[in-house]
């Protein structure tokens, strides 16, 4: 095996959870933030804030309406929306038997983990909703574990260290955004992209290649073949 560890991004990579998580977030935003924030929808977050943290989204929205939310309201929204996520996931995310089979094959040959810019509680709930909890177990890491989220290398390096890996050249990092790819590349891992859930597959592919992805695929079988190369 060429790799000792495969690190998977979650939202948009392991599962198409973008709508569910962001819809839950916006329900809380519309309820608690200033009236100006009612203009924002899921499409705004996915197109303008893709791959970012919840703090990045607040910053982008504040720039758009020139009205920042207070730290108190921001923190309450973050607490509130995470309680809503499981219900949204139940209605919008289903396990993919084909992907689960591929993950089972890979996890039997190499270490695997999840490293996401999302909130840890949301990431765990999303892994459960996608039917992948038995595969990843406690090997789930989020931006809350490090000072800097992707595209900084911190999260990828942290995940590798937690998995007992020190040689980053033996790490394969799978992402669906240029921001995530840059995180893997800056950490010294081999980064590849997935466009399976991308709205604009051509643009997403070009952006990830420019960010340093070695390859970009639209199919999990192609990724499996790449990961298992000698």
Q: Residue 80, exposed/middle/buried by CB under 10 A (0-12, 13-18, 19+)?
A: middle
How do the domains of the chain map onto residue ranges?
A: 5-16+94-227, 18-92
pLDDT of residue 12: 92
CB 115 within 8 A of CB 145: no
Average pLDDT of the segment spanning 119-143 = 96
> For a pLDDT cut of 90, what percent of the chain falls above it?
94
Higher pLDDT, 46 or 173: 173
Class (C level, CATH) for 5-16+94-227: alpha beta
Q: Coil, strand or helix: which one is 140?
A: strand
- What average pLDDT is seen over the chain? 95
**Nearest alpha-carbon partner for 166 in 146, 187, 185:** 187
**Nearest alpha-carbon partner for 2 in 171, 175, 162:** 171
For residue 177, pLDDT over 70 is answered with yes
With bands split at pLDDT 50, 70 and 90, how would you rate the model's confidence at 230? Answer: low
Structure token pair of residue 104: 């089972």
d(CA 183, CA 177): 10
d(CA 68, CA 91): 31
pLDDT of residue 167: 97
pLDDT in tens, 50-100: 888 999 999 999 999 999 999 999 999 999 999 999 999 999 999 999 999
pLDDT in tens, 186-220: 999 999 999 999 989 999 999 999 999 999 999 99
Structure token pair of residue 82: 């995470």
Structure token pair of residue 219: 């199919």
Q: What letter does residue 38 receive in the DSSP assignment?
A: G
pLDDT of residue 128: 96
d(CA 173, CA 181): 8
For residue 47, pLDDT over 90 is answered with no
> For a pLDDT cut of 70, what percent of the chain falls above it?
100
């Amino acid at each position: 095996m060429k790799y000792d560890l495969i690190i998977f991004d979650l939202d948009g990579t392991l599962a198409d959870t973008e709508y569910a998580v962001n819809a839950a977030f916006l329900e809380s935003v519309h309820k608690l933030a200033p009236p100006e924030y009612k203009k924002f929808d899921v499409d705004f977050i996915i197109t303008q804030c893709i791959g970012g943290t919840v703090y990045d989204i607040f910053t982008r929205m504040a720039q758009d309406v020139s009205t920042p939310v207070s730290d108190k309201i921001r923190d309450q929204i973050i607490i509130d929306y995470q309680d809503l996520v499981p219900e949204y996931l139940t209605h919008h995310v289903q396990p993919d038997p084909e992907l689960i089979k591929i993950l089972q094959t890979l996890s039997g040959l190499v270490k695997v983990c999840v490293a996401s810019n999302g909130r840890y509680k949301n990431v765990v709930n999303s892994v459960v909703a996608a039917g992948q909890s038995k595969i990843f177990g406690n090997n789930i890491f989020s931006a809350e574990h490090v000072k800097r989220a992707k595209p900084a290398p911190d999260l990828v390096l942290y995940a590798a260290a937690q998995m007992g890996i020190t040689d980053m050249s033996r790490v394969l990092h799978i992402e669906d955004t240029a921001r995530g790819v840059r995180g893997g590349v800056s950490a010294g891992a081999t980064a590849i992209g997935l466009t399976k859930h991308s709205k604009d597959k051509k643009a997403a592919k070009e952006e990830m290649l420019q960010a340093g992805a070695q390859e970009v695929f639209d199919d999990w079988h192609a990724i499996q073949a790449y990961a298992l190369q000698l």
